[in-house]
Amino acid sequence: KAGVTQTPRYLIKTRGQQVTLSCSPISGHRSVSWYQQTPGQGLQFLFEYFSETQRNKGNFPGRFSGRQFSNSRSEMNVSTLELGDSALYLCASSLDEGRPTEAFFGQGTRLTVV
């Protein structure tokens, strides 16, 4: 069974640009969550999508957005990039057919904003 796939693995962008990251969950998983990992703030929850609907949202500005497609694949978008957006962005998928639910993480996309 293929794991969670995130693309691209590495990105370098300039301040002010926008970026789109992609996540393909494990087959059959309907929940996809996104996390930002930085040395200073650690791992922070961005948002969660389930059946194409945003179900939970963390405390991030509106520049961070996401969506989920009918095949459960998800994208997150960051507009007007700032230097502080440099981070490892992790995607996690889960079956979510009841608790407890185990989340499986991808290898992440490392975004560098210059």
Kindly list the residues in this chain that would bind another protein in the complex (CB under 8 A): 4, 6, 31, 33, 35, 42-43, 45, 48, 50, 55-56, 90, 92, 94, 96, 99-108
Q: Which residues contact 73 (CB under 8 A, 6 or more apart)?
A: 22, 23, 24, 25, 32
Task: Return the number of the residue (8 or 16) whose C-beta is nearest another protein.
Answer: 8
Q: Is the peptide bond before 39 cis (omega within 30 degrees of 0)?
A: no
Beta bridge partners of 22: 7, 75
Q: How far is the CB of 80 from another protein (least distance, A)?
A: 26
Q: Which is nearer to another protein, 75 or 79 (CB)?
A: 75
